[in-house]
Structure 1
């Protein structure tokens, strides 16, 4: 479906989430997790149901794959930007699922100062740098799951790269500086989002696009139902594919406009070496007949926007 590529994005029909996640996991082939400490970043930014937040079945399926891969510890870390994190995780079912799957839940808001690592502002668009949770910096492996959404507060899209904002402190616990206020008022917001990902590795990301928001977002918006799940080891490739998917349904002017790899978020992430640098460097791999038509549409859009 494309020329030989540096990164692959796998796509599968999502009628059975458990089957889809298991199949994607084995196709992507993440590194061995046997005996490793694994950090998981899901999407629980608000107390709203999927597709605003991670679907319970998707979370359970992913935690099951991590557990079955022999992880020594599994920690689900989160900071909710539009709610109290512990309440959001409990209300969305994440606490109960984690308990059943042998995972620890870590509300990042509760971390002491030593739970954060300071990233200096050198070469970044962040005025003071930022704090990122050591949970993700020090884990042996990081697994992420994100949703398919637009973002009306300046991010334009909320996919895998944007999801890592939840690994950054809202405020500096020592001096009270509000990193999120800086982020959301900066003309460089999307570049700043990309820069977070330079300091948070990710071994595999699974995007649940069973449903999504093609407008509005992140907690509510115009609902679409692609009924697919995507996965990749490359967050830039995955987000480019997600943007192509949004475009196939019709989305906001910010999402529809221009070359995908010229968008601030994608261009800055590619510049930093987080993933592929062009649409020609990614390959879409449809794993079943049901997902092939959407994959062809996405490929066409990627090629047109190259």
Structure 2
């Protein structure tokens, strides 16, 4: 059984703290090297990217576990300079303000080629930073929102940020490619998958995305150690807001990303394995009903 925490609070830092607490805590071993990965694919303000307050909250929660080192790292889309993006978004400044040990960018890191068993949708495999092998614990900070070709982008798709520019050119952007795209997203999680997800639903796109779309502001933070639980509850939340037909009119379990993730054993296999604990979430009954 996986516990997912949902919290709504005007103070985003408090919302992060409570969501993590409801989910059972981070469970980082003392003396670990912790990597925190915000969403900064483009320089578009939230929900185009992670709210800097979510990053601050994640750093504060990680520090409570007495790690040896906290690192913030990310890679923006291929045509952008990641440091510039992080600075424009205020994520670099947020990390500095919280006193992290390092801020890194994946852009020019030495990479290793990966072709994990099960990655059948990646005929050429993909390349990931060798640096990841030195990390003990990873926290991802995805944003809950729709995506114009992948249907949605949440915890599973956040993993694409560790791949190289050449790998992203394999992704099948375009109409009627959502099954292949979903499979590739799920399969990228076969290596260096995050240990915990603190998902930003303070603001969401319910159409369009990932950079521009129809905005809603549910003011919610989700926390979970299970990527399938994270993404299915995120999809259930989008349904309460009114979203695109590909999400609104189908079971969360029918989404290609989720189906492939379940096949690969990347997380839970069904709603009966989820326990949701929430605080100040008036619509929790509707969210739970949408998990069918």
Range into which the TM-score falls when normalised by the shorter chain: over 0.9
* TM-score, scaled relative to structure 1: 0.88
After TM superposition, give the deviation of residue 181 of structure 1 in Å.
Answer: 1.3
Is 1:298 matched up with 2:290? no
Is 1:44 matched up with 2:36? no
Does the 8 A contact of 2:16 with 2:58 survive in 1? yes
Structure 2 residues not aligned, in runs of 5+: none
Matched residue SS, 1:182: coil
Is 1:107 matched up with 2:105? yes
Q: Deviations over 1:245-286 (max 9, x none)?
A: 111111112222322112110011111111111122212211
Does the 8 A contact of 2:12 with 2:53 survive in 1? yes
Of 88, 94, 104, 2:85 maps to: 88
After TM superposition, give the deviation of residue 121 of structure 1 in Å.
Answer: 5.8
Matched residue SS, 1:302: coil
- Alpha-carbon distance in 2 for matches of 1:257, 1:200: 33
Aligned to 1:180: 168
CA RMSD of aligned residues (A): 1.6
- In the TM superposition, what are the counterparts of 1:66-215 in structure 2 within 5 Å? 66-81=62-77, 83-103=80-100, 104-112=102-110, 116-120=111-115, 122-124=117-119, 125-152=121-148, 154-170=149-165, 178-185=166-173, 187=177, 188-215=180-207
* TM-score, scaled relative to structure 2: 0.92
In terms of mean alpha carbon deviation, does 64-73 or 157-166 score higher? 64-73
Aligned to 1:26: 21
Matched residue SS, 2:36: strand
- Alpha-carbon distance in 1 for matches of 2:7, 2:150: 27
Matched residue SS, 2:30: coil
After TM superposition, give the deviation of residue 94 of structure 1 in Å.
Answer: 1.8
After TM superposition, give the deviation of residue 91 of structure 1 in Å.
Answer: 1.0
Does the 8 A contact of 1:117 with 1:133 survive in 2? yes
Q: How many residues align?
A: 284
Is 1:241 matched up with 2:233? yes
Matched residue SS, 2:283: helix
After TM superposition, give the deviation of residue 122 of structure 1 in Å.
Answer: 4.5
Provide closer, same or farther for how the CA distance between residues 185 and 148 of structure 1 changes in structure 2, counting only shifts above 3 A: closer
- Alpha-carbon distance in 1 for matches of 2:124, 2:172: 15
- Alpha-carbon distance in 1 for matches of 2:94, 2:237: 29
Q: Deviations over 1:221-251 (max 9, x none)?
A: 1001112111111110110001111111111
Does the 8 A contact of 2:116 with 2:191 survive in 1? no
After TM superposition, give the deviation of residue 106 of structure 1 in Å.
Answer: 1.1
- In the TM superposition, what are the counterparts of 1:240-259 in structure 2 within 5 Å? 240-259=232-251
- Alpha-carbon distance in 1 for matches of 2:274, 2:21: 19
- Alpha-carbon distance in 2 for matches of 1:132, 1:169: 7
Provide closer, same or farther for how the CA distance between residues 42 and 80 of structure 1 changes in structure 2, counting only shifts above 3 A: same
Is 1:10 matched up with 2:9? no
Matched residue SS, 2:183: helix
After TM superposition, give the deviation of residue 83 of structure 1 in Å.
Answer: 2.6
Q: Deviations over 1:192-247 (max 9, x none)?
A: 10111121232211111111000000011100111211111111011000111111
Does the 8 A contact of 1:7 with 1:237 survive in 2? yes
Provide closer, same or farther for how the CA distance between residues 121 and 60 of structure 1 changes in structure 2, counting only shifts above 3 A: closer
Does the 8 A contact of 1:137 with 1:199 survive in 2? no
